Structure 1
Amino acid sequence: MIRLFCCFSLVASMAMLAVAEPARLLMVTQSAGYRHGPVKREKMPLSPAERAITELGVSTGLFRADCTQDVAADFTKEKLQHYDLVLFYTTGDLPIAEEDLDYFFNDWLKQKGHGFIGTHSAADTFHNYKPYWDMIGGTFNGHPWGAGSTVTIKVHDQEHPASKPWGEEVTLKDEIYCFKNWQPEKVRVLMSLNMAKTELKEPYHVPVLWVKEYGDGKAMHMSLGHREDVWTNETYLASLLGGMKWMLGQEPGDATPNPELSAAQELKAKADTEAAKK
């Protein structure tokens, strides 16, 4: 009898999983500043980055994506209530009403425990608006490494689902941002430039991927994504997917801040710079 009950319970659980609704994701690709190639729709329904995320959701069944380049209409308190995740590939001061921004930060993210993913120039958005850069962890301060630069990136946490797909290290071409308003005491750096293997531009720590807890919510920023070909890179998409799974509670990941790593990498970058001069 007990075995029969267990079998029925297992079948019922599997049936529930089979019909489980995918998460809802709102992808915002509006530009109030520089407009990147991956978010240009060019008379198509979706841009390259939007297609990549939409197809990722369909292929994995993890989420269903809605894409907008009209935040005034779509980034509102009423509409945000239908989403579990928000992804920004944006620039500048977006025309979002103050009450909607307040709801997003203080209710939707902090209290309701949803997830925010920033990609590339999300850090070049609302850079003079403290609540935003406090949430994202840092803001754009130039890109000494342009889109054609070949850089080597060190993975510091190979267990977190957002950084695990990259292995120990990766070398690729992309534009790399430096940051101001950087808050190492509030974020966990998962990946950063390996200055010893990268053409040196500035002698300091340059984070590439980090995560943080924001109240009951979770945030992640992935600096890569300037180039269109990055959005077809399977490892890049697996990294974003891993971050989403962590935010949705489907995979564990450590978000404990590691400011000591940033401090150590800062010293190492300066040492590498001095060594390169000799």
Structure 2
Amino acid sequence: MKNLFRKSLVVALGGLMLFNAPVEVQAAPKKILVITQSAGFRHQPVNRAGKETCQVERVLAEIGKKSGVFTTVNSQNAIKSITRENLKQFDGIFFYTTGMLLPAGDPRDALMEFIKSGKGFVGAHSAADTFKQYSGYVKMINGSFAGHPWNAGGTNGFLNHEPTHPTVAMMGNEFMWKDEIYQYNNFDPNAVRVLFSLNMAKSRPQMPYHVPVCWVRSFGKGRVFFTNLGHNGSTWENETFHKHLIEGFKWSLKLTDGPSKPNPKLQAKESIKAFALFASQKLKLDHDMLLKDMMAKADDEKFIKLLRENSWKSRGRDMNLIKAVLAEVK
């Protein structure tokens, strides 16, 4: 009888423990407003062409659902969708856009304040060719389109500066990718953490300046993730790019962590590497010696400023500007 009572007690306690055991609850997916409006050049991946959705909208809906991270609401009418009232329902916003989408005043302020309040912003490709005459947006995304010497048909090399960062961990230390790559006006190295850049040694054309391709930043209480990949339709069907985007959304939505502190010293060294490669080839100089001598000045802010300004202004053509930098190396 005692044994029967003990067994009954053990079963009852076990059931009680099972009943009170913590249950892992799947977090509800975040809600993302997807803007694919083209007020300027219209890229193929955002052209609905008479269909209900474009390629970008379809892919984002698919990877959001499959990952369980987010759901999407699509719009190609920013004026209608980006209002203070409508934005209240969203956790983040995605841009693959061009041109001046919103009038000055409260509509633009609503967008900036939405991000600063703690929401996520994810931008792909021509999000950096948007609001070029609106300094608030340009400062937020940290750059504006200034051409694409690396065209859609070319395959170029990229250097991953932080392969442990969740947003770029899937890319490896170095990789090759076929896509159109922008260069930028109004890029501030002190504002963002660059995660990967063009590897000029494995890219054509080779330019004497650093070309960032993916970066992150904090913006008020919010987070900004930008990747310049995405011009080509083939990129949007690539599983590695899907992972890149998913992790970008997760990071911007604060579901994962990774540093966003700006890394201007790393960027200065990348500027030196691009310049040394270009100058040594064009002027028949000893590359290794030039690189060593320039790296010795990596912490010289005045020199780095001259290097960045002259190499960018030269556009790889004005060799007098290049020689002016070389004159300061020793």
Residue type of the partner of 2:116? Answer: K
**Aligned residue number for residue 112 of structure 2:** 105
CA distance in 1, matches of 2:38, 2:179: 20
Equivalent of 2:88, from 63, 81, 104?
81
Aligned residues: 271
Q: Deviations over 1:19-61 (max 9, x none)?
A: x321000110000110000000111111111111010111111
Name segments (4+ residues, structure 1) moved above 6 Å: none
**Aligned residue number for residue 154 of structure 2:** 149
Instruction: Say if 1:72 and 1:97, in contact at 8 Å, map to a contact too.
Output: no
2:54 counterpart of 1:47: yes
Q: Deviations over 1:132-167 (max 9, x none)?
A: 011101111111111111110110011111111101
Residue type of the partner of 1:174? Answer: D
CA distance in 1, matches of 2:281, 2:122: 35
Identity value in percent: 42
Q: Secondary structure at the match of 1:250?
A: coil
**Aligned residue number for residue 65 of structure 2:** 58
Per-residue deviation, 1:67 = 1.0
Equivalent of 1:268, from 249, 273, 276?
273
2:187 counterpart of 1:182: yes
Q: Secondary structure at the match of 1:154?
A: strand
Q: Deviations over 1:50-108 (max 9, x none)?
A: 111010111111110111101121111111111111010000111356312212212x1
CA distance in 2, matches of 1:263, 1:242: 27
Instruction: Say if 1:200 and 1:273, in contact at 8 Å, map to a contact too.
Output: no
Residue type of the partner of 2:22? Answer: L
Structural mapping, 1:22-37, within 5 Å: 22-37=29-44
Name the Cα RMSD after superposition: 1.7
Residue type of the partner of 2:63? Answer: L
CA distance in 2, matches of 1:104, 1:22: 22
CA distance in 2, matches of 1:201, 1:179: 16
Structure 2 stretches lacking a partner, 5+ long: 1-12, 285-330
Measured at CA, do residues 10 and 198 of structure 1 come closer, stay the same or move farther in structure 2, by a change above 3 Å?
same
Using the size of structure 2 for normalisation, the TM-score is 0.79
Residue type of the partner of 2:112? Answer: F
2:20 counterpart of 1:8: yes
Q: Secondary structure at the match of 2:205?
A: coil
Instruction: Say if 2:200 and 2:207, in contact at 8 Å, map to a contact too.
Output: no
* RCO higher in structure (CA 8 A, sep ≥6): 1
Larger radius of gyration: 2
Using the size of structure 1 for normalisation, the TM-score is 0.93
Residue type of the partner of 1:249? Answer: K
Instruction: Say if 2:96 and 2:123, in contact at 8 Å, map to a contact too.
Output: yes
**Aligned residue number for residue 137 of structure 2:** 132
Residue type of the partner of 1:88? Answer: F
CA distance in 1, matches of 2:15, 2:162: 42
